[in-house]
Amino acid sequence: MERLIIKGGNHLTGEVDCSGAKNAGLPILASTILLDGSAFIGNLPHLQDITTKLELLNSMGSAINFHEDGFIEIDSSNIVVPEARYELVKTMRASILVMGPLVAKYGKAKISQPGGCDIGTRPIDFHLAGLEQMGAEITSDSKYIYLKAKKLTPIDFEFPKVSVTGTENLMMAATLIDGVTVLRNCAKEPEVLELANYLNSCGAKIEGAGESNITITGVKSLKADRWNVLFDRIEAGTYLVAGAITNGHVKVNKINPSTINIISEKLVQMGVKVNIDKDSVEVDATSSDLKAQDIFTEPFPGFPTDMQAQFMTLNTIAAGNCTIEETVFENRFQHVSQLRKMGADIVLNKNKASVTGVSNLVGANVSASDLRASASLVLAGLVGKNKTQIDDIYHIDRGYECIEEKLNKLGAEIIREPVVY
């Protein structure tokens, strides 16, 4: 176990490079199950979730090799155990993404009930309903979901509610089904488009990814390709907020600005100067007086739920008051109690939080409850008077590569230390 100790009060200045997107890398790794031959995937971030997904693939029979050029070679063409074991799935919800590829390629799958961050109920009913409509026979018990299919058939399926992993799972399964599958009310996230682009580079025929309706014309086989994963828009947004909250001047490189337009717009509304270039976004808050702004989370291209906690922290020291409404997950305000320990003025009412800005936050001993909550506490620590201690930081290591190193490069003072009992 480790913790972070943060000395607050420093203005962050400088440039930071974005890492590869975990939420793009995980489905792409799962998709290698569909391929014939070795895939070479680059720009994968060094994160616990990526490591877990590689361990999962390896446990099923995938051959994995690490190359000096940074690419990871995955040959999943000879899966011998189509099973996602509990000890791996319990830590990461994205493990469920192997379900569609396994059924499509090998005709069966045994998947442990999914885990991940405790941010609310995230049922996989949509995944199962779509696969069942494709022809999979599905049974379950308290620990596992069992799927088998002699042959999958194309479907016309509308998601009752937008689901990123649901869209990805059914899209992957459909790539090897003879005929045309239409998926409606799909997630439009850049990571969904990235997965489709990768599969198309391998020979798939997917049209409409990034829009509401996706059409997949099945092919007989997919051949592996080299691919660099796109950069992480949530990491980029987090570092931009770090610059804003410290009245700093921070430039985030290696990011497609169009994927974070709504984040940039919200920062401008709060009084931060934002400069957008071809592959970078820069914030200058050195002379800014932050103004509170309402936040309403929704699927892409709306405001991302994965940035809700970070902007809540930013609003805690902004002038005025605002309402933050969480519409994607029902249990994503667990950071509120920890921010209150640091002096934040936040009142909760179901899925809404009323935030009134205070003059300053004060360092305290706090605990991370999930991935993005942990990022919000790091941001609070950057401006908190005195020192802030954040425990349970294994959450942050699931989604941020070398976060203290990157922030220290910008002028923060953060120490990672082991917890001694």
pLDDT bracket for residue 94 (50, 70, 90): low
How far apart CA 307 and CA 237 sit, in angstroms, is 7
For residue 318, which of 344, 290, 342, 345 has the smallest C-alpha distance?
290
Strands across the sheet containing 387-391: 365-367, 387-391, 2-7, 413-418
Within 8 A by CB and 6+ apart from 125, the residues are: none
Has residue 421 got a pLDDT over 90?
no
Taking the CA of residue 6 as centre, how many other CA atoms within 13 Å lie in the half-sphere pointing to its CB?
Answer: 35
Domains assigned to the chain: 2-19+231-418 (3.65.10.10), 22-228 (3.65.10.10)
Give yes or no for a cis peptide into 82 (omega within 30° of 0): no
What's the DSSP call for residue 318? Answer: S
Cβ contact 27:94 at 8 Å: yes
Determine the Cα–Cα distance for residues 264 and 266; give it in Å rounded to an integer. 5
- Rounded Cα distance, 2 and 404, in Å: 13
Determine the Cα–Cα distance for residues 406 and 400; give it in Å rounded to an integer.
Answer: 10
pLDDT at 59: 94
Q: How far apart, in whole angstroms, are the C-alpha atoms of residue 24 and residue 231?
A: 8
pLDDT digit string, tens, across residues 203-251:
999 999 999 999 999 999 999 889 999 999 999 999 999 999 999 999 9
| Residue 229 Cα distances to 118, 123, 238, 307, 333, angstroms | 26, 27, 19, 21, 30
Averaged pLDDT for residues 188-208: 98
Q: How far apart are the first and last CA of the chain?
A: 10
Sheet of 249-253, strand order: 13-17, 249-253, 280-284, 273-276
Q: Is pLDDT above 60 for 116?
A: no
DSSP lists the bridge partners of residue 209 as none
Average pLDDT of the residues in 14-20: 97
Residues 196, 214 contacting (CB under 8 angstroms): yes
Work out the average pLDDT over 50-61: 94
Asked if 376 and 335 touch (Cβ cutoff 8 Å), the reply is yes
Write the pLDDT tens digit of every residue in 361-380.
999 999 988 888 899 999 99
CB–CB of 211/186 below 8 Å?
Answer: yes
DSSP 321-345: EEEEE--S-TT--TTHHHHHHTT-E
117 as an active site residue: the answer is yes
Pairing of strands 249-253, 280-284: antiparallel
Task: Give the percent of the chain with pLDDT over 70.
Answer: 97
Count of beta carbons in the 10 Å neighbourhood of residue 417: 10
Greatest CA separation for the chain? 65
Q: State the pLDDT at residue 373.
A: 87
Tokens 């987090």, residue located? 238
Q: Is 50 exceeded by the pLDDT of residue 262?
A: yes
Of the residues 117, 186, 202, 322, only one is catalytic, namely 117
Q: What is the pLDDT of residues 270-304, one digit of tens each?
A: 999 999 999 999 999 999 899 999 999 999 999 99
pLDDT of residue 123: 64
What pLDDT, in 10s, does the model give residues 316-363? 999 999 999 999 877 779 899 999 999 999 999 999 999 999 999 999
- Mean pLDDT, residues 188-213 taken together: 98
Question: What is the pLDDT of the chain when averaged over all its residues?
Answer: 94
